């Protein structure tokens, strides 16, 4: 069986993780081949400890590529957010972009994943996240913090 490849020659890499209830789940993300490894091209919605641009090693299981180990951290961080203030969701998404972050929407209308690039001041962005949480506008999970952001 051949691995899933899109029209840009990007590959689907599957991440197996345990959800909050302890059930085993799988999330797939697009990646580009970089030598013997793969560079992640999406921001994870549910899988922990992976960020946009990370370089990973995979295991090929009969044409299905599974995450094996992190080879190189990209410096990006992943925040997973549920927005309670649905009437202002597009405004919140615009605010996130103004910080220099990107976001992807999921199949759950008010659930997004946020890519925090290495050059973004995470301390400043985290203040924004905490303020919104305290105001009950959203809740969030720091699914993957880069070493750069952990130390800021």
**Domain boundaries of the chain, sorted by first residue:** 11-72, 77-150
Second-level CATH architecture of 77-150: 2-Layer Sandwich (3.30)
pTM: 0.91
Residue whose pair of structure tokens reads 């400043």 in the numeric block: 124
Residue whose pair of structure tokens reads 């890499």 in the numeric block: 13
Tens digit of pLDDT at every position of the chain (152 positions): 566 766 678 999 999 999 888 899 999 999 999 999 999 999 999 999 999 999 999 999 998 999 999 999 999 999 999 999 889 999 999 999 999 999 999 989 899 999 999 999 999 999 999 999 999 999 999 999 999 999 87
- Count other C-beta atoms under 10 Å from residue 111's C-beta: 15
> Burial, 16: exposed, middle or buried (Cβ in 10 Å; 0-12, 13-18, 19+)?
exposed
Question: Tokens standing for 31?
Answer: 């990646």
């Amino acid at each position: 069986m051949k691995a899933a490849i899109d029209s840009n020659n990007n590959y689907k890499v599957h991440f197996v993780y345990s959800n909050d209830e302890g059930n085993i789940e799988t999330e797939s993300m697009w990646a580009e081949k970089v030598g013997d490894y793969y560079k992640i091209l999406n921001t994870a919605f549910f899988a922990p400890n992976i960020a946009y641009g990370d370089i990973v090693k995979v295991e090929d299981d009969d044409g299905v590529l599974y995450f094996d180990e992190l080879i190189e951290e990209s410096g990006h961080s992943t925040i997973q957010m549920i927005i309670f203030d649905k009437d202002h969701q597009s405004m919140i998404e615009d605010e996130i972009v103004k910080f220099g972050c990107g976001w992807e929407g999921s199949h759950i209308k008010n659930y997004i994943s946020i890519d925090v690039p290495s050059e973004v001041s995470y301390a400043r962005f985290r203040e924004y996240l905490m303020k919104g949480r305290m105001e009950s506008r959203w809740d969030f999970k720091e699914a993957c913090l880069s070493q750069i952001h952990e130390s800021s």
